[in-house]
Amino acid sequence: MLDALPAELLLDLPHYLQSIEDLYSLFSTCRTLYHTCCCTNASPKTIFRLAASSGRVFFRLHPHLLIAATLRQLADWAVEEADHRYLLEVAIQRGVEKLLELAVDVAGLFMNDIRRLYVYKCDVLNPLNRRLDLEAGPSSEDNPAMTKCEDPETTLLSWVIYGSFFAPPWS
């Protein structure tokens, strides 16, 4: 039934969704919606906003990972104007939530980027996180409640984010 709507209306559907799961459900209903709404026509800004606002476990990508995936776009935007640099500085000072909000306003990701990030998280970050958790686990037998690093994944991604902001542009 939805696929009978004009393409102009179908192209607007992703703007009204709340999460990447909603987008996935929408384009899973039929080929017309898949090709019209998602594969080639959904804007990277909309896809990124939906990924950042997803709350369910299956598609939830760590906010730090989403920021890391859009760092270069954010950094390139920041060097365009002094106002942009100021907004980036303010977002960094206010923490990850504000930095993610700024990234959502400025950057974008395609569905293939989201898929690639999810695979990267499963294949690289999760095993690395488990390894870091074992290596940076309890700090001593006397006080096992104290750990060297409580959240290795966030620590690793924070290092990537803030280290990359000051790296030279890719050539």
Tell me how far the alpha carbon of residue 46 is from its chain's centroid.
12
Domain ranges of the chain: 62-113+135-166
Cα separation of 43 and 75, whole Å?
A: 20
Encode the chain (171 residues) as per-residue pLDDT tens digits. 666 777 777 777 777 888 878 877 777 777 777 776 655 567 888 888 888 887 655 556 788 888 888 988 998 899 899 999 999 999 989 988 899 999 999 999 988 888 888 888 889 888 887 887 777 665 556 665 555 666 777 777 777 777 776 666 654
The model's pTM: 0.71
Contact 48, 109 (CB under 8 A): yes
